[in-house]
Structure 1
């Protein structure tokens, strides 16, 4: 549905995007993750036709963004980090204005407005001036205008920034519901946001894509965690002698049981657990826990950020 090839963008001496390439397929929820200044907002503005790249191409539904900007924008719902709201207008008046600007036919507007209002739970705020709404409800108004025209593709830039925990949960639920009908790309620097909403994550650092994988693949490792009921002799040496084991690291646990991380030598498709289980049976080790280790998104992000 979306294809980005070798996109570059600079602001004077600052290179915001350095040859970014990615594909987003229909029906996906993709999280664009990175620290402030990584290039997330620049990429989103290019995708939505609000900013021209210095080089590279962007196509959506087979149309080039530079030559078919209006046609593509008609298929996109966009919520920038600071939603372009008019504080003096009521919620209802603002959404009606946006429906007119989106050229939604008058006969369809009541249904479209009603669907967007219900989806964002704004029924009790329709006559209230936008300027008097809380941050959370202003975000909902921004989301409502983004989905009025039933776009095929939704772009959200930091949709939960500045919200309290309750509002964040509500916005996450809404994004999940919207994903049933639209492909969604949203940017964030909040790791838990991606873990809660996405199957796939794109990590961008210093204008370059450092990872583009499904969360399950990104989290997988070749390592295993072993916890025993009590201490045994020569455990580390025995584990280190297994095939595909690089190192064995003792772990500190809250309950003081002897624990070890067995670090594998191969890619994440090599599971060490069966061999460890066979060894434990042969040595009569009192097994308390054996599982494949997984990396958190935070550890993956920090590893990439530090060049590990």
Structure 2
């Protein structure tokens, strides 16, 4: 039930919180452990470095307990999944829970195979302090509904995944980011839409994976809604697209955009609505 004594965040206050979170990431340079896929390791590490965080791609079970003791967050991306990696991911979640560290789960290709769907659900069920970041089809499939997917590509629009996202928030006590032409950030208390970014971004591999990694950086400093990472990454992509001839240059320019993005650019460009 809504408590009238609690102020509903406005777009202005949310913008201020995004800018403050960016400053904190750049100041604190949090260590983010990534168990991610072979395709995007370089991309996601560079994105984290550009925003000011400190990435480590740690996949060995032998060092995971130590890593999660010193790291500030854990990112798990199931893009290149196999049985050995699943065991490592489960152990990493246990260690993150034991150290009270936030966990960001990217259920890549959830719905495309039984293995991916079951693994994503198992990881989500085991994780405390969870943020889920996926495309619409992945979010719908993770919630147990019928989705349209082609491998790791979404065939559903992000707005059709809102009910599924709200179900995941309730089921896993998680916050959920739905990526798409319009991005949505769904928490127990609010739903926010973001209409930044550029239509060229889906033509570069690892765009969503990089957003997942950045979500881990912001979670590391306490911004666990996913809002700051989603807003900043979309704006960086929008700026980069204006300077890019195609997907190859866009990939490079997004890294530069993350490195240079300013409070002024966020204020000028952020296209955000509090939906509920």
Q: More strand by proportion, 1 or 2?
A: 1
Same fold, judged at TM 0.5 (above):
no
TM-score, length of structure 2 as denominator length = 0.32
- Higher gyration radius (CA): 1
Q: More helix by proportion, 1 or 2?
A: 2
TM-score, length of structure 1 as denominator length = 0.29
